[in-house]
Amino acid sequence: MAATELPAAIAQLASALADLPGVEAVVLGGSRATGEHRPDSDWDLGLYYRASHGSFDPAALRELGHDGYVSALGEWGPIVHGGAWLTVDGMPVDVIFRDLDTVERWLREAEAGRFEVLVQNGSIVGAPTYAVVGELAICRPLFGELPRPAFPDALAAGAATWWSGRAAVSLMFAAGYAESGDAVCCTGMLVDAALCTAHARLAERREWGLNEKRLLQRAGLGELQRLLAPGAAGDAGLPATVAAVSAILRVDPLRAR
């Protein structure tokens, strides 16, 4: 997508971002890049820089004078480590900072089938480091050059196995919490198992899971929304809910003994 195909205000912002000191590339991301957006969807712009060059400072973005909030580098977490929430010509715009040095390191790890899952604001089960690799695969470059990776075979196998194993552990704990009548912890473990299985299924299909938004639906697990809705089970129904969720996921709870 050329910048001229964007709304004028968004195209102007993308160009201004590309001109900031230290910026290597600017991309259109999120639902606007994949064509899955609604009329009221945000505009997501990725801003890539290299920490090793030490030349990008978020203060330069603040000086553009747009309404909103601009974070410091590292303020938001290890995966989405910073960015800005802006309103530009009445349109909501999210700018996400990406250190290209880190992204390229995680790309090399993903190609070898390795990844980490890091605690990240807004994520229930944690964010896999390969999510930022997936962003490169689905984004629409506006300025600069970036890698455009396919889903690595080694990652498809390794991620599917890891996420499925974690789902089994979570279901084991869910069963224990169900026996003690702890609805909150039981539900939390069921949610963990559901999202982990969704990650596993997407990895098996070599589809990038960038975040948890609509992750269950994408994985064909949308019926869990009904089972896991607040008040759907109650104490007496928790063991049955664990069994029902396990059956839908086709994952047997790990048994310690």
- Is the domain of 119 the same as that of 44? yes
pLDDT at 88: 94
Question: Of 143, 165, 196, which residue sits at a domain end?
Answer: 143
**Cβ neighbourhood burial of 69 (10 Å; 0-12, 13-18, 19+):** exposed
Above 60 in pLDDT, residue 143? yes
List, for residues 171-210, the tens digit of each pLDDT value. Answer: 999 999 999 999 989 999 999 999 999 999 999 999 999 9
- Has residue 116 been placed in a domain? yes
- Is the domain of 129 the same as that of 170? no
What does the DSSP 8-state code read for residue 4?
A: G
Q: Which residue has the higher pLDDT, 238 or 223?
A: 223
What does the pLDDT average to over 154-158?
Answer: 97
What does the pLDDT average to over 58-85?
Answer: 94
CATH number, residue 122 = 3.30.460
Range of the domain at 166: 153-249
- Is the domain of 61 the same as that of 159? no
List, for residues 25-68, the tens digit of each pLDDT value. Answer: 999 998 888 888 878 789 999 999 999 999 999 999 999 999 99
Question: Of 143, 167, 188, which residue sits at a domain end?
Answer: 143
- Is the domain of 89 the same as that of 207? no
Above 90 in pLDDT, residue 147? yes
pLDDT at 240: 83
- Has residue 73 been placed in a domain? yes
Q: How confident is the model at residue 231 (pLDDT cuts 50, 70, 90)?
A: low
Above 90 in pLDDT, residue 169? yes
- Is the domain of 168 the same as that of 134? no
Name the phi and psi angles at 81, rounded to 5.
Answer: -90, 0
Amino acid 199 reads: H
Above 90 in pLDDT, residue 235? no
3-class secondary structure, 14: helix
